[in-house]
Amino acid sequence: MSERIFIGVAWPYADGPLHLGHIAGAYLPPDIFARYHRAKGNEVLMVSGSDMHGTPITIKAEHEGKTPGEIVTQYHQQFLASWQKLGISFDLFTNTGTANHAEVSCDIFLTLLDKGYIYKASVSQPFCPVCQRFLPDRYIEGTCPYCNSSGARGDQCDDCGKPINAVELINPRCRSCGAAPQFKDSEHFYLKLTAFRDRLLDWVKQQTHWRQNVLNFTMRYLEGGLKDRAITRDIDWGIPLPLDGFEGKCLYVWFEAVIGYLSAAKEWAKSSGDDEKWRSFWQGEVKSYYFVGKDNIIFHTIIWPAMLMGYDGLNLPYDVPANEFLTIEGKRLSTSRNWAVWLPDYLSRYDPDPLRYLLSINMPETSDTDFSWREFIRRNNDELVATYGNLVHRVLTFTYRSFNACVPVPGQLDNHSQALLSSASDIFNTMDNLLYHCHFKEAIRSAMSLAQETNRYLDEKSPWKVIKQDRQASATALYVAISVLSCLKTALYPFLPFSSQKLHEFLGFKGSVEDDGWKLHFPPPGQKLLPPEPLFSKLDEELVDEETSRLGHVHY
RNA sequence: GGCAGCGUAGCUCAGUGGUAGAGCAGAGGACUCAUAAGCCUUUGGUCGUGGGUUCAAAUCCCUCCGCUGCCA
């Protein structure tokens, strides 16, 4: 029975490169999930895109003497290249700068306005009399009322880290011309979140399959902090309000970005030639998953669901398997202090699968976990290479040499051989269940335990020794081992797609692992093997110091 | 300051009431097909502290200490 799965992935902000925290938190998990479901033969639509609007981008553009458009285009291209290299298999990775997205966003805005879920209110906003424009919080500088530092902005003080309201700043001034801002009334629109409180509570209480951290966080917010929120800003970099008399105002990014999930589905449908195809992933029998980091939980468990409830007729999220954070060498990531491992940097020097392996087996599913280069290299050398890679290599090289480069013809299977094969089958089924429920870490650990068990089996059977007296016994043991490799290449495919594909070919299979489906494939005896090569390479331990020393150096 | 979470072997992490686990690191051993990989044996924890509930607590409750996050 085929299922339909919609996978929405958090939209990365196009003002800087991606780092490993992003990947571990939001990008690798949905890719594992999507590959698993596609292999099972389910229909998957996995979408995301670059978030191109918002004040940080205009500020960065001014800093670098570029236009906002140049900045976001540059990072959008970089994101696309990263997905390709890392193997993050989006069906569509678009961006919020498209005409389609503006159209869909305006439709939602107008519909919610029409139904009374959006209302207008007048608020006092800082206005620069020289520049003749309203100033976003980040465009105002002044003295921090808490620590007296002179470089505080209207949203927060970088020195003491405290959040600030623009009105509290001492000696406020416009960041571009230095003039003192005046406060003027400005009309803005608010999303009436409070109107959805009871419906949200009822709905969330039914989501017993959600992760505990997601449920807790959401309930706390619903019971305590639910407020109507402004959804428009006085800026010109964004989606203009589709109403007369509101020139110079745009939709606030947080309101508009989540709509991207819907607009991306529509864009995907259009490019497929069937404009209405998006409906099959938004209405009726389909499960919607949203993969995000924990900082994004409420946008996907409260705000976006409220918008969908108000709009009516589209599916609410089925699950939001949010991950916790990744720390680097024990410390919290910091972009400004360059305490991060940047993805393009990583991909310029290393293969994708070792990173996918580490971030999977040490995924921050239920609590923060740590990335260190020492751990990365150790896991690569002692687990990926030594346990799995070497298992593949020892089986294939010996078979290739001693059995004429073909899958050997097995004899009668003894108890031990049958036990290993049934263990492979059990583990495969266990992994199926774990992946279905988004328990990625435990799933990949199961696969590794099967590799270990197979190493033990080989040691006991010693086909390299037995072959001298009993060629048939050797052939049988190798056939059994090769069958397990075939199981592993499928089971590990969602995690390690590149090396699984290689193994698939070494074993003599044609086409792609994914097309062969999520089931056990025993290579037919006699099937011609390809000349085996190591699946993974060891990494020099000296890289630990070399890589670690890159951290913390600000280079721009 | 308020709220939440975390604190388990040297390291990275599992483990939500029933005799403390894995991988790696350390020690010893047999083997040699394999990227000196794999396999076997073994050392190592009074599960942050102090109390409580229970026949029984890493697991539930409270105090304190330390760390982290969110909010003010």
Q: Residue A130 — pLDDT band, cuts 50, 70, 90?
A: confident
Q: Which chain B positions have some atom within 7 A of a protein CB? A: 3-6, 11-16, 23-25, 31-35, 37-40, 68-72
Q: CA–CA separation, A345 vs A342, rounded Å?
A: 5
pLDDT in tens, A344-396: 999 999 999 999 999 999 888 888 888 889 889 999 999 999 999 999 999 99
Span of A200-204, A285-289, A318-322, A330-334 with lowest mean pLDDT: A330-334
CB of A402 under 7 A from strand B?
A: no
Q: CA–CA separation, A470 vs A463, rounded Å?
A: 9
Q: What's the whole-number average pLDDT of chain A?
A: 90
Q: Which of residues 418-447 of A touch strand B (CB under 7 A)?
A: 442
CB of A337 under 7 A from strand B?
A: no
CB of A216 under 7 A from strand B?
A: yes
Q: What's the pLDDT at A331?
A: 78
Q: What's the pLDDT at A367?
A: 80
pLDDT in tens, A65-79: 999 999 999 999 999
- Work out whether the CA dihedral A289, A294, A296, A299 comes out positive or negative: positive
Q: Residue A90 — pLDDT band, cuts 50, 70, 90?
A: very high
Evaluate if residue A414 carries a pLDDT over 90.
yes
Q: Which domains does chain A have, with CATH numbers?
A: 4-106+253-345 (3.40.50.620), 115-249 (2.170.220.10), 363-516 (1.10.730.10)
Q: What's the pLDDT at A394?
A: 96
CB A317 within 8 A of CB A290: yes
CB of A541 under 7 A from strand B?
A: no
Q: CB-based contacts of A267: which residues, under 8 Å, 6+ apart?
A: A92, A94, A98, A100, A101
Evaluate if residue A543 carries a pLDDT over 70.
yes
Evaluate if residue A518 carries a pLDDT over 70.
yes
Q: Residue A1 — pLDDT band, cuts 50, 70, 90?
A: low
Q: pTM of the entire structure?
A: 0.93
pLDDT in tens, A15-63: 889 999 899 989 999 999 999 999 999 999 999 999 999 888 888 898 8
Q: What's the pLDDT at A159?
A: 64
